[in-house]
Amino acid sequence: MKPKPISEQMKTLDKQELEMLESVENYEWISNYSSLDQFEKRKRELSFAAHNSIAHHIIKDAVNISININRKELNLIEELALKEGVSYETWILNSIYKSMRYAR
């Protein structure tokens, strides 16, 4: 599906999103990084996490499954996954692998 033009997308932004966009355009955001080296290190970490996340989804003979989980538990899983720099799907898959190793 082709994305909508920016002008159409802008119409869907709420007040908070418009204020945030304006503050970014006015250069009101300050970097958390004190040096270029620090930024590059974090960039490498995130790139590595993204690569690992993608690699886990390219599994030969993979089978898709569906599970039902309540919103509160999913929110917690998403927080934990974010801390590790992976998607929540990858985090769940990693947790299953860890459980299987300990069960042996």
Amino acid at 39: F
With respect to residue 34, please indicate whether it lies within any of the assigned structural domains: no
Count of domains in the chain?
Answer: 1
Residues 24-70: tens digit of each pLDDT: 888 888 778 888 888 888 888 887 777 766 665 566 677 888 999 99
Question: What whole-number distance in Å separates Cα of residue 58 and Cα of residue 89?
Answer: 13
In a domain, 93, yes or no: yes
Any domain includes 48: no
Q: Measuring CA to CA, which residue among 65, 95, 61, 67 is closest to residue 80?
A: 95
Indicate whether 19 belongs to any domain: no
Contact 94, 87 (CB under 8 A): no
Q: How far apart are CA 39 and CA 29, in angstroms?
A: 15
Length of the chain as a residue count: 104
Any domain includes 101? yes
Q: Looking at the domain assignment, is residue 69 inside a domain?
A: yes
* 98 inside domain: yes
DSSP, res 87:
-
pTM, two decimals, is 0.43
Does the residue 44 lie in any domain? no
